Amino acid sequence: MKRVGLCQVETSLLSRGESTRSIRPMLLLIWAPKAWHRLSPLKPPALLWTPGGEAVHVRYRLLSRQGPGERGRQTQPQGPGFRTRLLITGLFGAGLGGAWLAARAEKERRRQQQRTEALRQAAVGQGDFSLLDHRGQARCKADFRGQWVLMYFGFTHCPDICPDELEKLVQVVQELEAEPGLPPVQPVFITVDPERDTVAAMARYVQDFHPRLLGLTGSAEQVAQVSRSYRVYYSAGPKDEDQDYVVDHSIAIYLLSPDGLFTDYYSRARSAQQIADSVRRHMAAFRSVLH
């Protein structure tokens, strides 16, 4: 194995019988065997004769030496002190991170609780309703007690928005039902166009989305009652020569808790992932008020 060293070398060039002509101090980087470091750090001058009859006085002094072993020893921290400091620093950082996460979770929990209380005070979804499902069976609000419900108001002749929102609702349901341990979510579609959305029309429509999607319809009065209960606006537009028309209506997905209470709503701007995350938080924080 070889080592690298740094020497200061002074040379003087003489001719035979002449005094010193020049002195040149210089630094040399030396690549030498291991044994070289046994040389004395300060050597007396050495007289070397050149073929031209001139003598060179060489005086050198070791400034530093460093081999691979020394380099490794210089860069490696020594002793248990460094490891202890590193461990303490890591534990301190982990403690700060854990405290920050806990504070953030508590803040989110309080915010969610405040939002839920504010929505309950808005008296949305109060009272009962009576409708027919797409199989012709009578349905009321009490039938969904004990279930989480995602509900959307729309109509089967809607060209784009209603299918898009129902697809998003179904994505949320599928994501949540794929997670073990989470309670099932019942998807519900209530029409705001009772004139055209009969039981048969609803049955044909809901089968294209999800096998558990429940379509609800009824008379004009029954639909108006449930729509008022959930603050849903809707208005049928003018008919064309084919007697076709569109219905302008509110666009929102409603979340009902197992108590049958309105818990949250999601506008068109919310993604399926955002809605699923919100439903999970509501599930985790849910405490029944009926017991």
For residue 262, which of 156, 159, 122 has the smallest C-alpha distance?
122
Residue 54, C-beta contacts closer than 8 angstroms, at least 6 positions apart: 13, 14, 15, 16
Cα–chain-centroid distance for residue 8? 60
Whether residue 162 is annotated as binding a ligand: the answer is yes
Whether residue 7 is annotated as binding a ligand: the answer is no
Whether residue 158 is annotated as binding a ligand: the answer is yes
Residue environment code for 43-69, b if the CB has 16+ CB neighbours within 10 A, otherwise e: eeeeeeeeeeeebebebbebeebebee
Cβ 26 vs Cβ 34: under 8 Å: no
Annotated binding site: 158, 162, 249
Task: Return binding residues for Cu cation.
Answer: 158, 162, 249
